[in-house]
Amino acid sequence: MKVLVIGAGNMGLAYAKALVKSEFLSSHNLMISDTDAQKTEELKKVSRFDVFTNLEDCLPVADIIFIAVKPYHSEDLFKEIKHLMTKDQLVISIMAGVTIQSMKDGLGITKVVRAMPNLPAQVGKGLTSFTASDEVSRLELSTVENLLNTTGKSVRLDTENDIDASTGISGSGPAYVFYFMQSMMDAAKKMGFSEHDSKVLVSQTFEGAVELFNKSDLSPQSWMNRVASKGGTTRAALDSMEDNNVKQLIEEAAYAAFDRAVELGK
């Protein structure tokens, strides 16, 4: 099995590096292509995979093709490579908002997987949601899942609407966490802590809370109830968030990302 990654940006490289370290591919079965000649020359010096600038030299021999370019480049890319595609090739797209049907039409193929990864894929802690066209077999879906799992975990969803919804939760979600972390760090610095101590206080608090959550069956609400005693400091903070409708604002932010993903698909 030969895999080609088109696009050596953050996510494309994250998948290429994870795939080449996995048990599924040897170094010569993983190819990556990018139009930036300087970037490809740098990759050739340090990579464990084959690097190309010309898609004609690599795409025809690929069994599975990851498309990791910006969505607004998709139409031009489809026009460039359609004549190189074959009906047996399987495409995995991580382009936000680009529909399965538009890829089928644009590439002249039927086997398409639409995936939505998130940024922690770069450190092997990503979450990738995906759905597939009906023409993708069960065996191929299993292969796709194994490949996606090299960057963390994956979850198969039923519809493209579910992919758009997952964009509002996991796809864009790391930014919400960073927003909350930044706000807590800013508060810590106003209280007199240094930049370094503020970062340690906040990052370790987040890491510890996630670890507690992952290693138990308790819901976030249950953990809040355990931490927040009546009349205590945590209850004062939670009451302030409730009074300021923070929960509702977070939900509205997630839906804003969801709605934008749907809009991009049109």
Is 67 annotated as a binding-site member?
A: no
**111 is annotated as contributing to ligand binding:** no
Total residues found in the chain within this entry? 266
Distance CA 43, CA 34 (A): 10
Residue 11 labeled ligand binder: yes
| Among candidate residues 144, 113, 148, 115, the one with its CA nearest the CA of residue 14 | 148
Q: Report d(CA 182, CA 5) in Å as an integer.
A: 33
Is 69 annotated as ligand-binding? yes
DSSP secondary-structure letter at 171?
A: I
Q: 215 labelled as ligand-binding?
A: no
Tell me the β-bridge partners of 153. Answer: 127
- The burial of 223, by beta-carbon neighbours within 10 Å (0-12 exposed, 13-18 middle, 19 or more buried), is given as middle
Contact 98, 263 (CB under 8 A): no
Q: Is 228 marked as a binding-site residue?
A: no
**Ligand-binding site membership of 225 (annotated):** no
The answer to whether 266 is annotated as binding is no
10 labeled binding residue: yes
Residue stretches of the annotated binding site: 6-11, 68-71
Residue stretches of the annotated binding site for NADP(+): 6-11, 68-71
